[in-house]
Structure 1
Amino acid sequence: MWQTLRQPRWVARVVWVIGVVTLASALLPSMRDRLHLIDEVVPDAFPAAATTGAAAIGMLLILLAGALRRGKHRAWIVALVSAVLAVGAHVVKGLDVEEALMCLLLAGYLVAVRGEFTAKPDPRSGGRLVRVILLGPVVATVLGFLWLTVDNDGHAAGTTWVDRLVQAALGLVGIAGPMQFTSSADADHAAVGLVVLGAAVLIVALLVALEPAGGPHTADAEETARLRALLDRWGGDDSLGYFATRDDRCVIFSASGKAALTYRVIGTVSLAAGDPVGDPEAWPGAIEAWLAEAKAYGWAPAVLGASEPGGTAFHRAGLDVLELGDEAIVNATTFTLDGRSMRGVRQAVSRCTRGGISVTAHRVADLTATEIDDIRHRADAWRDGEVERGFSMALGRFGQERDPETVVVLARDGEGELVGLLHFVPWGRDGLSLDLMRRDRASENGVIEAMVAGLMASAADLGVRRVSLNFAVFRSVFARGERLGAGPVLRLWRSVLLAASKFWQIESLYRANAKYHPDWEPRYLCYRSSSDLPRVGVAALRAEAFLVAPAWCKKLRRA
């Protein structure tokens, strides 16, 4: 039993409950006979300060529960100090002995489990500080308003809820509001209580602002050079390997330096993508180093899009594995437009040819700067929305000198105007992996099929034998669910995905890939615990830019 109660998640639950009780106790009226005893011992302003202080402590304990669940040492210290302060606050605000004893027991509990809280604080975050500065005063104003509404002794007749709300907002910074009181003592009582709430917001903001600036950083020039050296030798093992060079990823190496793993910290999740890069025998070292860092900071480790060998390595390191979908891989040496099964693609290509559309494939290094600028401009113009999506299977840049081996497939109409493009990154020495797919919406239907067929026709000249196309989420559900004899659960799951496909490109991506009759290679999601899946899912959606903060929030964060 004690071993269970020592676990951070149980400590977090206890702290959350006591935070709720403390907040409720502060907002509910005190017993008048007890309050009378307190008034005879301490100055009039003390109970008010203790009441709002208890409210602030209760809210702080509720917020700390999340960090305690992750084993944060700094959160443990703040929770312990808050519990001790709450003991005094409960006594002074109304001789609430029961709540004071509860907080005293909490302090003892936290001391007893101190060895479970060793995680480092998260690196300083401008976004987190902005949230405290923006939301802190709002929460404090609401708490102040509720306190003034409940503890309304001494308020002048005719006081409205608007008066109380304005009084609560202004009182946080010591400014007198519109409320009238029956005595100066009652006015001081309210003023002191609201100033304590304001001071609590300031203290929390200072704690966030004073967080350490260290922690993981995006790969620097030296680390990128080491990563590219590993890709030169081992890049053919994973079609997603080259995406490890994205500019927004951190990198961690095994002790031997023979393998590396790239990731990005999003919220409380350390999100890797694809397999480790380098010698498979050194993968466990890179994975263990990454997991150790995630544990040190209290982050939930997760991997998006691991291959079967990669998934096996992560599973051996202690992560659970869930099949996420399949990657479509086309063999360029055997690809053909002949045959009944390729009729749809063949017709699309013929239609584009009759329409005067021509397709060419180039190494980006062979293009001029003017051509690269024009392609980049068209790609931005044809993008669906303002945000560039992608993380696990997207490079996030185009036409830079550091990526000379990337390949671009261009479709032009009869007048030479660009109407479509595909961008591929290297997959070892003889493969390509799709990064970008864009076309002019006014162009001939079938441009994408024509570009894929054109790439396959040029594959020999480019030295390409295999091409990785789009990733199809839950591909096996669609493939098996439409077969004769599919079970009721599988058919139900397929129906759910079909409904979701009306909003997201789930089935359409599967159909778009299936027409080329590729080999399907499964990709997996790796995670530590099923309880982490909600935040891992949110982190993945944020990484892939399906969940994006409003523009004003981004501007404020940059400021």
Structure 2
Amino acid sequence: MGENTTAARLMALARRVPFTLALAGILILVGLLSSGLWRPFTESELFPAVAYGLPALEEGRWWTPVTGTFFVTTPWVYLAGVPAFAGIAFLELRRGSRVAAAYFAVGQLFSVLGAVVFLWLAALTPWPWAQEQASALDVGPSGGVFACLAGALALLPSPWRLRAWTVFIAALSVALVYYGSIADLEHALAVGLILAVDRSLRPQRVSVREQRLIAVVVLCALGAIEILGYIAPMTGPFGYSAATSGSWIDVAVNTVVVLIVATALRRGRRWAWVVVLVYSALNLLLVLLLIGILSLSGVIGLEQDLDADVTSVLASSTLWIVASVYFVLVRGAFRARPRAALGENPPPSVTDAKALLRASGGGTLSWMTTWEGMSYARFGRGIVAYQRRSGVALALADPLGPPEARRDTVRAFIDGAEMAGLAPCFFSAGEQTRAAVPSGWRSIVVADDTVVDLPGLQFTGKAWGAVRTSLNRAQREGMTFRLSRLTDETWGVRQQLRAISESWVGDKGLPEMGFTLGTLHEATDPEVRLALAVSPDGDVDGFLSWLPVYGESGIRGWTLDLMRRRDGGFGPVMEYLIGASAQQFSAEGAEVMSLSGAPLAHEYPADAGAIAALQTRMAELLEPVYGFASLHRFKQKFHPRYETMYLLYRDEADLTRIGPALTRAFLPHATLRQFAAAGVDLVRQER
């Protein structure tokens, strides 16, 4: 059944890309007939008759721009064409067969004829490279293929489109400057045509973060080019050089510059931008000096005097000069102050955050933003609570403040974090914050908040049997329910609570989690309430902590935080505590009771994608340690409604930093040994 489905999908895909399949079929058929599939076609007697280039047109072979398109120079090019044809297929799927065919045909003819015209004009000068390439012949569809690839890149979503363009152009530049065959010139012309037509490359109109990422890519490309130019022979427009004939000192210095500066550029450091500009200026002076000396002594004489490869030095320095133009254009992106506080000065305190929360209200997790370890940034009428972890500005829950100011607060926080060189993201945010982030942002479901509406709550009917049974059993066994505050309890009760909590933590390989999971320390806040289940002997068999949920007119509900029970105590103590708490809160006039959300316990549909599959797999691995899924199933006994909570981030490239940031936020005191031991336990459980 599965094989039939796969075959049907492949047939459906094939019907949508007829041009790609036809072009690939023609190339393979021509390769078979011409023996090009197993030996270089340049050795064939047919090559001069079908190959295109300036000599072919000068000799009257006007048909060669068409005939040469369907032959390939060497067999290995067929293998390299597999991913290239995937790009053509993507273009055809998105734009249709006619558009893909037009991109290929126009790109191929323009690249072939454009190279002929350029080399004809350049060969009139004393430029050795131009004169050599003007006498060369070539075959192959690469001009049209590169035009289609450029068209496919223009269809990628932002920000991947600009990143792909940057890498693509960097590769083309290396090929043209360092190797400079007629095919490399044709590729550059084909891509240049597409850039001029669709105008999809606009680096100055992107965000600060994207400008920095492009700068990193450009700098790393320059470093790779330095190494490549040293270890490989050079045959480009600047002349010839043998492998390892350049200055290894120059290569080493440039590599060190790249390694040190690239990370700082990604974070928007001003000093790194200055270093790049100074280094580029030195390269400019070097080029001017070499040009002046070359005009007097020539290349050979200069290389003998300096014992250096002037060709590679000129090529490298020229690329640095060209790249410096981009760095000047985006100079505003490199003004990050890594230690500066985000938002308006002076930064708000936890007292200010609590005051705004009481005045404007908040969500079910908002009180967690008042815990220790949080920083606060004020933007207009709103405040964002966040932590700095691993280069990430990790905002917790929704911003505080009036709902009508949320969009402005969210956008200002994002801008401030990016200017500081931090990756902004929101953890456990709701739908309103999700709607406020820029349109290109991604979201991942991290939990489902379980909310019980309290007005009119009655534990009647079959659905509430488990809760009703626990309340009745507790009454029969003489259990006592008490809502109080930790600071109001006696020393003996506090010691029992501490012993229960420490026993629970001792069973884990890792310490108590933080960030959105509190401890007894957070429960000492006088606004946090404790629900205690006390046995007839005076022992605390279990306890809960409840965080206040503020509305505009005061406390409108409570959020469950700590859940702890004594080993060997009253069996259904948690059902009893939550049920009794719900009854008490309802009697007090509260509107909602949140049982909070169990991380990694969201139920995804079958076609939710790779991220959802990864989260599901993580939940399975962590279940024996933290029991997220079993906790989620337990909360279903209270028949809550669900409100989705999200991780909001710019794109997938940020996940490599957000992952470590969240790990440290949840486990700020865990040691490397504890992480390693937990990893070993997970592997053992998996086996």
Under a length normalisation based on structure 2, what TM-score does the superposition of the two structures give? Answer: 0.54
Contact 1:379 1:438 in 2 (8 A): yes
SS at match of 2:349: helix
After superposition, the Cα gap between the structure-2 partners of 1:35 and 1:469, relative to the gap in structure 1 and judged at 3 Å, is: closer
Contact 2:342 2:416 in 1 (8 A): no
Shift in Å, 1:516: 0.9
After superposition, the Cα gap between the structure-2 partners of 1:489 and 1:295, relative to the gap in structure 1 and judged at 3 Å, is: closer
1:294 is matched with 417
1:15 is matched with 219
After superposition, the Cα gap between the structure-2 partners of 1:79 and 1:361, relative to the gap in structure 1 and judged at 3 Å, is: same
Counterpart AA for 2:255:
G
Q: Say whether 1:76 aligns with 2:280.
A: no
1:65 is matched with 262
2:511 is matched with 387
Rounded to whole Å, the distance in 2 between the matches of 1:415 and 1:219 is 55
SS at match of 1:430: strand
Rounded to whole Å, the distance in 1 between the matches of 2:227 and 2:495 is 58
Among candidates 78, 92, 106, match of residue 320 of structure 2: 106
Shift in Å, 1:460: 4.4
Contact 1:306 1:525 in 2 (8 A): yes
After superposition, the Cα gap between the structure-2 partners of 1:319 and 1:97, relative to the gap in structure 1 and judged at 3 Å, is: same
Shift in Å, 1:524: 2.4
After superposition, the Cα gap between the structure-2 partners of 1:94 and 1:476, relative to the gap in structure 1 and judged at 3 Å, is: same
Shift in Å, 1:399: 4.3
After superposition, the Cα gap between the structure-2 partners of 1:57 and 1:335, relative to the gap in structure 1 and judged at 3 Å, is: farther
2:667 is matched with 545
Q: What CA RMSD, in Å, does the superposition of the two structures yield over aligned residues?
A: 4.3
Shift in Å, 1:519: 1.5
Shift in Å, 1:426: 0.7
Q: Say whether 1:451 aligns with 2:577.
A: yes
Among candidates 351, 357, 363, match of residue 225 of structure 1: 351
Counterpart AA for 1:101:
A
After superposition, the Cα gap between the structure-2 partners of 1:493 and 1:67, relative to the gap in structure 1 and judged at 3 Å, is: closer
1:160 is matched with none
Q: Say whether 1:422 aligns with 2:544.
A: yes
Rounded to whole Å, the distance in 1 between the matches of 2:645 and 2:591 is 21
Rounded to whole Å, the distance in 1 between the matches of 2:486 and 2:344 is 25
Shift in Å, 1:80: 4.1
Rounded to whole Å, the distance in 2 between the matches of 1:350 and 1:324 is 36
Rounded to whole Å, the distance in 1 between the matches of 2:382 and 2:245 is 69
1:149 is matched with none
Shift in Å, 1:459: 2.0
2:375 is matched with 250
Rounded to whole Å, the distance in 2 between the matches of 1:427 and 1:382 is 27
Counterpart AA for 1:469:
L
- After TM superposition, list the pairs within 5 Å mapping 1:430-469 onto structure 2: 430-460=556-586, 463-469=589-595
2:619 is matched with 501
- After TM superposition, list the pairs within 5 Å mapping 1:55-454 onto structure 2: 55=252, 57-62=254-259, 64-81=261-278, 95=309, 97-98=311-312, 101-117=315-331, 118-121=333-336, 123=338, 214-216=340-342, 223-235=349-361, 237-255=362-380, 258-315=381-438, 319-347=441-469, 357-368=479-490, 371-372=493-494, 374-376=496-498, 378-383=500-505, 384-392=508-516, 394=518, 397-400=521-524, 403-428=525-550, 429-454=555-580
After superposition, the Cα gap between the structure-2 partners of 1:497 and 1:222, relative to the gap in structure 1 and judged at 3 Å, is: closer
1:141 is matched with none
Shift in Å, 1:356: 6.0
After superposition, the Cα gap between the structure-2 partners of 1:115 and 1:348, relative to the gap in structure 1 and judged at 3 Å, is: farther
Shift in Å, 1:231: 1.4
Contact 1:251 1:260 in 2 (8 A): yes
SS at match of 1:397: helix
Shift in Å, 1:65: 3.1
After superposition, the Cα gap between the structure-2 partners of 1:232 and 1:37, relative to the gap in structure 1 and judged at 3 Å, is: closer
By relative contact order (CA 8 Å, sep 6+), the higher-ranking structure is 1
Q: Deviations over 1:262-306 (max 9, x none)?
A: 111222221112112122223234323312311211322211112
1:170 is matched with none
Q: Deviations over 1:210-244 (max 9, x none)?
A: xxx54459999962222221111222x41122112
1:525 is matched with 647
Q: Say whether 1:515 aligns with 2:637.
A: yes
When you count helix as a share of all residues, which structure comes out higher?
Answer: 2
SS at match of 1:398: helix
Counterpart AA for 1:9:
L
Structure 1, unpaired ranges of 5+? 39-46, 124-212, 482-487, 554-559
Shift in Å, 1:449: 1.7
Counterpart AA for 2:607:
V
After superposition, the Cα gap between the structure-2 partners of 1:495 and 1:82, relative to the gap in structure 1 and judged at 3 Å, is: closer
Shift in Å, 1:503: 1.6
After superposition, the Cα gap between the structure-2 partners of 1:341 and 1:93, relative to the gap in structure 1 and judged at 3 Å, is: farther
After superposition, the Cα gap between the structure-2 partners of 1:86 and 1:514, relative to the gap in structure 1 and judged at 3 Å, is: farther
Contact 2:342 2:377 in 1 (8 A): no
SS at match of 1:525: strand
Q: Deviations over 1:187-232 (max 9, x none)?
A: xxxxxxxxxxxxxxxxxxxxxxxxxx54459999962222221111
Aligned-pair identity (%): 24
Kindly tell me the number of residue pairs found equivalent between the two proteins. 435
Contact 1:239 1:432 in 2 (8 A): yes
Q: Deviations over 1:419-446 (max 9, x none)?
A: 3221111101131112222233554543
Under a length normalisation based on structure 1, what TM-score does the superposition of the two structures give? Answer: 0.65
Q: Single out whichever of 288-297 and 379-388 deviates more from structure 2.
A: 379-388
Rounded to whole Å, the distance in 1 between the matches of 2:433 and 2:254 is 45
Q: Which has the larger radius of gyration?
A: 2
Rounded to whole Å, the distance in 1 between the matches of 2:387 and 2:444 is 20
Contact 1:274 1:306 in 2 (8 A): yes
Contact 1:319 1:528 in 2 (8 A): yes
Q: Single out whichever of 531-540 and 326-335 deviates more from structure 2.
A: 531-540
After superposition, the Cα gap between the structure-2 partners of 1:370 and 1:84, relative to the gap in structure 1 and judged at 3 Å, is: farther
Rounded to whole Å, the distance in 2 between the matches of 1:27 and 1:111 is 27
Counterpart AA for 1:76:
W
Q: Single out whichever of 269-278 and 288-297 deviates more from structure 2.
A: 288-297
